[in-house]
Amino acid sequence: MRSAVTAPIFPLSAVVGMDDLRLALVLNAVSPAIGGVLVRGEKGTAKSTAVRALAAVLPAVEVVSGCRFSCDPADIDPDCPDGPHDFAGPRESRPARLVELPVGASEDRLVGALDIERALAEGVKAYEPGLLAAAHRGLLYVDEVNLLGDHLVDLLLDAAALGMSYVEREGVSIRHRSRFLLVGTMNPEEGELRPQLLDRFGLTVEVAAPREVDARAEVVRRRLSFDADPTSFAAGFSAAESELASRILTARELLAQVALPDAVLRQIASVCASFEVDGLRADIVIARTAVAHTAWEGRSVVDGDDVRMAARLALPHRRRRNPFDAPGLDEEQLDNALDDHSNDDDPHDDGPGGAPAPQDSPAPADSSSPTDSGSAPERPMPAPGESFAAPTDTFRTRRLEVPGVGSGAAGRRSRAKTDVGRVTGSSRPTGKAGRLHLVSTMIAAAPQQKARGRTSAGLILRRQDLRLARREGRESNLVLFVVDASGSMAARSRMGAVKGAVLSLLLDAYQRRDKVGLVTFRGDSAELALPPTSSVDTAAARLTVLRTGGRTPLAAGLLRAREVLRVERLRDPRRRALMVVVTDGRATRRGGGDLEDAYRTAALLAAEGTAAVVVDCESGPVRLGLAGKLAMALGGPAVRLEELAADTLAASVRTFTGAA
């Protein structure tokens, strides 16, 4: 599960935020009840290296010999599928495991599955454990956790919170313990986790590459030394890592003796209330983290400094209320909240006999970390003839979707063949049998029973009888916004409403787990303002500072969108695209003739099978209907700007999407 030589965690302190990361990882090693760590940062900042290095300093675990679920001989799981175990049976000691969950893992790979083929054909109840079983009493690492399927993230965090994994399918119920130190890493540029999933990670840390020349040079020097001789390089830090492992073990033993005074507990509640944090999970995580930090420091009573440290790691990601908010923590506000409470209560009034330290129950996993990736870029100065418009308030939009049935990544927009969803039929397996369609399997086997010599009540099955369930759910799509930023759109303050509508559509794309891209056209050309990405908040930031003014090169905008879609089809053939053209339908450029060029380009897009919808931004008592003509050329519907809201009765949208 772990490579023979891992880069030590100590040489990484040059990376900005690495000290906080080391502390967060160590505190979770001391008290896994904290709920794990989410590491956020730009690419190439040693996030994965630090996590893998932690496994080398985790204390060894004693397990029941031969148990695939790592049962503790001192606390045997009565529900262990490999049990029952004998308390006096053989046991062994082994290093704590580092288990990595790949982004493309299936649900069966994560939680395990019953071997249905053997169960039906041989009558054997053969359960194959998954990664949650392998990670029990070890470290479970999820790289690029923000790219993991939502249903897998839900299963993962439920197991981390409950300390138990459940497998319920095909009439079989299996459960086993699954307590692990959960660490996830992510690059915010590739998209955010949902706020409710962020909240499930205990602590969060932001890391970034150093800007100092000496620090960067030292990182490179040590990396080259490691590449040249990994064994010797690691040996140079073996004494320090042994000391760290010993200190973690000592802190674990001290954890139960740490007292959390009632005054400090009230201070924690006061801080969370002052930051208006939703729910009570933050309070619990801060308390557990402060207790672990106290034990790590070798003390027996939690104080205000422990609370401050815990709040810095537990609160930033819980400040994110919607996809367009940048996570972060105002440390001055934190200091004021701590000081305000300290003026009323002495944190040590209750002495060592205060509230018990909350380390025994399994921790909810809580989420993420501060980042600036969603903050708006600096607004450039408008040139003559240009202007900026502030977006209006966002609203809930109707679902726009791609016609037909796809087979892309699971999401919430368009119909697709998926591994989850309602059963629509059955098919023969081409490889190892997965989720069977039991009724179809029995129907296929029934006519063969006489020929197979069946004499008892049992059904005689052969592999050719097996049928897999065919399911239909929803997929995520690429939503490419093509936004008219010309002078005609800026007139009569329409651009503010346009930006508000596109922001609303971006919010809808975030909730449906889509990738988004942004093409704008104005003046004499079109530009790709944002290449397709999962970071919806980055798209929102680019849109907010969008300059408007000049002519309307509609054909150039459509041609640029066509090229973007062509490249994306090569990169990800399974992900279908929806092009949303936001325009009043006008087209002007030097030399004229742009409108006919635009219609010809639209016809090309339609011939290539591009699904499109035109958001008609034309206003005023006299309407030319140009956006409707463009929609006809694209083979899609035209929806008026005011009809995008979910509570409007837009017949054209209902016809296009099939939504209620």
Active-site pick, 194, 281, 288, 576: 281
Using the structure block, give the residue that is written with the tokens 């302190």. 13
Using the structure block, give the residue that is written with the tokens 């099939």. 658
Strand, coil or helix: what is 274? helix
Nearest in space to 163 (alpha carbons), one of 246, 243, 72, 289: 72
The DSSP result for 385-418, as a single string, is: T-B--------PBPPP--SS-B--SEEEEEEEEE
| C-alpha distances out from residue 510 to 357, 413, 572, Å | 39, 11, 19
Is residue 281 annotated as part of the catalytic site, yes or no? yes
Residue 127 and residue 135: Cα distance in Å, rounded?
17
Contact of 133 with 69, CB cutoff 8 Å: yes
Helix 594-607 × helix 554-571 angle, to 10°: 20
Strands (E), 385-431: 410-427
Contact of 609 with 566, CB cutoff 8 Å: no
Contact of 481 with 549, CB cutoff 8 Å: no
Residue 504 and residue 641: Cα distance in Å, rounded?
11
Measured from the Cβ of residue 172, the count of other Cβ atoms closer than 10 Å reads 13
Query: Residue 585, by phi and psi: left (phi above 0), alpha (psi -120 to 50) or beta?
Result: left
- Residue 427 phi, psi (nearest 5): -155, 160
Residue 448 and residue 451: Cα distance in Å, rounded?
5
Give me the half-sphere count of Cα atoms (radius 13 Å) on the Cβ side of residue 441: 23
Residue 312 and residue 307: Cα distance in Å, rounded?
9
| C-alpha distances out from residue 35 to 110, 363, 653, Å | 19, 5, 44
| Residues marked as catalytic | 281
